[in-house]
Chain A
């Protein structure tokens, strides 16, 4: 098996999560909307999972809306709060996930003003610029991710939420990459909407959630049926919901242990990188989630390095899995003011709870041997 160091793209299902899902895959089947016993059993399972996910992010179960994943949750947040509202402005972090950017940009066609929020060289939101953007009223929504998927940079979303509220705007936090790595606090951050995804926390793919404060009026984006308070139609994906619930509960119980473990491995990666010539670690001075390090090896093409590492049995990525293979430098790094050539050399190592020190050492050895070759030798 290759060494998997791409846990921000997706994670291995926890065997305990698979066990929790199996009864709902092989045993009692039912549509949670059906009134008979099979339907009620499915309904109970869905509600148990709702409480588990709510607990992980410190929300109320009644605030959780199931979606098909993080992308749908982010889309629902941005389009949901603008759908029934007269057009004004939406602000989003320039280093946010592509689905937030694209969902925001799509609002332009409906007459909305859409503006990115700048970040500094360390990937942190420029509060003075955000302040100026918010002074121009009205703003309907501010959307900023808690932890960046490429650099791991953590934004002070509580402070941003307070600024947004002072300007009478709603606050959405994309917490997809924060959940399971650092505490997520929907109530404490005082945000209005928050997105999470299951497959980033060792749960199944195909399920996510949007936490929505009860005061927020949300326009449905998927019509059909009364499911999820009428905001999101469709038969509930019961096994995946059960799996997400189990993954959330385990992630909450093991958060501190996992964070310590991943931080130790990440520090080991960074210590090893410092031994190599021409390495730049991005946003190193910023507070980051404990599992992520993004760096560039000066003079080397990132895609070519990835290919070599892949051949040697190491699964890492340049940044977002969604953007892979497009040859474009990361919009996150460009947003931070990193020059294009350096950004094109970016490699992201994202650790998971199952990685070991031995795997880290193997990776460093492989990278070291590549770095000792002249850049020209590592052709595509």
Chain B
């Protein structure tokens, strides 16, 4: 089985597992406990907080642990709105955000919040000018992803951040597919809230973080109430082993990010080259400005579900894992202007640290064979050809 679904989730790096194991096997104190078993756990949690902060050039006090990116996105958007308590709040986001952002915004619409969903261009880019044009005096928050998770397009968040800061509008960025893939420097980029995940970066599931800027101070109202953990912004016993795992994953990413990106970028281009044996295929996203680990391709003349059924040896997805359960064509590809049929006949290949050349060759061979066979069986394709 070839695993090319690293944008859905990744294998734990063995070094991450090694860092986690003591916290599963022998050390078990509650980080909130003020005794000999609690203190080492708290120290480990704080070390990891610093490791996560370092990757994005933030300070440790700006990192709030959550159960994952979904919770971090919920906390950022709902928490920021609740804290501001505006009478008639407005949010700017885009049509191709992750479901945890879109579903949160749709929920807020049922509570009277107005939301503008920006349309991306055909490469998946959100124009900074569109963002600024959509902002009104009641705009409480702009929420955009740094890297689109299905097509890999990198948004110009640095430019957007500076423009929003000048206008005093809070900016939340979902950086789940950006962290550890491209450099993030929050000392220079005036983003107020930033969502991070561990399991997309060879860290454990069940842990993520929200960066909440200290200067100028961004404020969020807690969405999970309890007894004062995480500066009052998020309650609940901290899962030490998962936090330690996230810290180690981010430490590794910091030292190996460039090498990983070079390697996956080379493999990704090799994959694209091999797939191009097939006529009438389309690469989705911005080929000149995308992360190196994602390749999205639409195939003319095949039906999406049949194509995936013909690829039992390759683990990949049509879009995001969260949408795949519904089996609907990707809303992201449709927003880029792909019709339903082509959007449905698309594959997302996503590479990781453990993807090698043999995986790429094997996957390319299987996909080419599958597409050719399906096209031979398709009367429509045969007539057109």
A59 at the interface (CB under 8 A from B): no
Please measure, in the bound complex, the distance between the C-alpha atom of A11 and the C-alpha atom of B238, giving whole angstroms: 13
The residue from A9, A36, A222 contacting B74, defined by CB atoms under 8 A apart: A222
Residues of A near B254 (CB, < 8 A) are: none
B206 at the interface (CB under 8 A from A): yes
A234 at the interface (CB under 8 A from B): yes
B343 at the interface (CB under 8 A from A): no
Please measure, in the bound complex, the distance between the C-alpha atom of A324 and the C-alpha atom of B39, giving whole angstroms: 12
* A39–chain B nearest beta-carbon distance, Å: 7
Q: Is the CB of B32 within 8 A of A33?
A: no
Q: Is the CB of B99 within 8 A of A31?
A: no
The residue from A37, A68, A71, A224 contacting B101, defined by CB atoms under 8 A apart: A224
Please measure, in the bound complex, the distance between the C-alpha atom of A326 and the C-alpha atom of B240, giving whole angstroms: 22
B282 at the interface (CB under 8 A from A): no
- Chain B positions 231 through 242: 1 when the CB is less than 8 Å from some CB of chain A, otherwise 0: 000011111111
Please measure, in the bound complex, the distance between the C-alpha atom of A306 and the C-alpha atom of B37, giving whole angstroms: 13
A33-B321, A68-B239, A205-B237 known; 10 new pairs, CB 8 Å cut-off, are A10-B237, A26-B17, A36-B317, A71-B237, A205-B239, A206-B207, A236-B205, A237-B67, A317-B33, A322-B227
Q: Tell me what chain B mostly uses at the interface: helix, strand, loop, or mixed.
A: loop
Q: Is the CB of A235 within 8 A of B68?
A: yes
A62 at the interface (CB under 8 A from B): no
Residues of B near A26 (CB, < 8 A) are: 12, 14, 17
Q: Is the CB of B206 within 8 A of A237?
A: yes
Q: Is the CB of A35 within 8 A of B239?
A: no
Q: Is the CB of B321 within 8 A of A322?
A: no
Q: Is the CB of A103 within 8 A of B9?
A: no
Q: Is the CB of A239 within 8 A of B204?
A: yes
Please measure, in the bound complex, the distance between the C-alpha atom of A234 and the C-alpha atom of B37, giving whole angstroms: 31
Please measure, in the bound complex, the distance between the C-alpha atom of A65 and the C-alpha atom of B316, giving whole angstroms: 27
Please measure, in the bound complex, the distance between the C-alpha atom of A64 and the C-alpha atom of B204, giving whole angstroms: 23
Q: Is the CB of B35 within 8 A of A2?
A: yes
Q: Tell me what chain A mostly uses at the interface: helix, strand, loop, or mixed.
A: loop
Number of interface residues of B (CB under 8 A): 70
Residues of B near A315 (CB, < 8 A) are: 29, 33, 35-38
Can you give 20 A-B contacts (C-beta < 8 A)? A2-B36, A4-B37, A9-B32, A25-B17, A25-B20, A31-B9, A33-B8, A35-B324, A37-B315, A68-B68, A69-B237, A72-B224, A204-B24, A205-B242, A206-B67, A222-B74, A222-B223, A224-B99, A235-B199, A239-B206
Q: Is the CB of B322 within 8 A of A225?
A: yes
B312 at the interface (CB under 8 A from A): yes
Q: Is the CB of A206 within 8 A of B239?
A: yes
User: Which residues in chain B, 1-28, are within 8 Å of chain A measured between CB atoms?
Assistant: 1, 3, 5, 8-12, 14, 17, 20, 24-25, 28
Given known pairs A29-B10, A316-B35, the reply for A224 and B1 (CB within 8 Å) is: no
Q: Is the CB of B101 within 8 A of A38?
A: no
Given known pairs A205-B237, A207-B206, A316-B35, the reply for A38 and B315 (CB within 8 Å) is: yes
Q: Is the CB of A39 within 8 A of B321?
A: yes
Q: Is the CB of A240 within 8 A of B206?
A: yes
B129 at the interface (CB under 8 A from A): no
* B5–chain A nearest beta-carbon distance, Å: 6
Q: Is the CB of A321 within 8 A of B100?
A: no
A102 at the interface (CB under 8 A from B): yes
Q: Is the CB of A235 within 8 A of B70?
A: yes
Top 9 closest A-B pairs, CB basis? Answer: A224-B100, A206-B239, A237-B206, A68-B67, A234-B70, A99-B226, A102-B225, A71-B236, A322-B227
> What size tier do the contact residues of chain A reach?
35 or more
Q: Is the CB of A37 within 8 A of B312?
A: yes
Q: Is the CB of B239 within 8 A of A29?
A: no
* A167–chain B nearest beta-carbon distance, Å: 25
Quick one: closest A residue to B223, CB to CB?
A221
* B59–chain A nearest beta-carbon distance, Å: 23
Please measure, in the bound complex, the distance between the C-alpha atom of A99 and the C-alpha atom of B235, giving whole angstroms: 8
User: Which residues in chain A, 295-321, are within 8 Å of chain B measured between CB atoms?
Assistant: 306, 310, 313, 315-317, 320-321
Q: Is the CB of A199 within 8 A of B101?
A: no
Given known pairs A18-B24, A68-B67, the reply for A223 and B315 (CB within 8 Å) is: no
Q: Is the CB of A234 within 8 A of B325?
A: no
Please measure, in the bound complex, the distance between the C-alpha atom of A235 and the C-alpha atom of B226, giving whole angstroms: 23
Please measure, in the bound complex, the distance between the C-alpha atom of A226 and the C-alpha atom of B71, giving whole angstroms: 14
A279 at the interface (CB under 8 A from B): no
A63 at the interface (CB under 8 A from B): no
Contact surface of B with A, Cβ cutoff 8 Å: 1, 3, 5, 8-12, 14, 17, 20, 24-25, 28-30, 32-38, 67-71, 73-74, 98-104, 106-107, 199, 204-207, 223-229, 235-242, 308, 312, 314-317, 321-322, 324-326
Please measure, in the bound complex, the distance between the C-alpha atom of A253 and the C-alpha atom of B10, giving whole angstroms: 34
The residue from B10, B29, B34, B102 contacting A306, defined by CB atoms under 8 A apart: B34
Q: Is the CB of B70 within 8 A of A6?
A: no
Q: Is the CB of A233 within 8 A of B70?
A: yes
Please measure, in the bound complex, the distance between the C-alpha atom of A313 and the C-alpha atom of B71, giving whole angstroms: 38
Residues of B near A69 (CB, < 8 A) are: 67, 236-237, 239
* A317–chain B nearest beta-carbon distance, Å: 6
Given known pairs A25-B20, A225-B70, A240-B205, the reply for A204 and B241 (CB within 8 Å) is: yes
The residue from B5, B104, B326 contacting A224, defined by CB atoms under 8 A apart: B104
User: Which residues in chain A, 198-224, are within 8 Å of chain B measured between CB atoms?
Assistant: 199, 204-207, 220-224
Residues of B near A188 (CB, < 8 A) are: none
Q: Is the CB of A72 within 8 A of B100?
A: no
* B240–chain A nearest beta-carbon distance, Å: 6
Please measure, in the bound complex, the distance between the C-alpha atom of A125 and the C-alpha atom of B349, giving whole angstroms: 58
A323 at the interface (CB under 8 A from B): yes
Please measure, in the bound complex, the distance between the C-alpha atom of A239 and the C-alpha atom of B204, giving whole angstroms: 9
Given known pairs A29-B11, A206-B242, A226-B325, the reply for A233 and B99 (CB within 8 Å) is: yes
Given known pairs A223-B103, A224-B104, A240-B205, the reply for A234 and B241 (CB within 8 Å) is: no
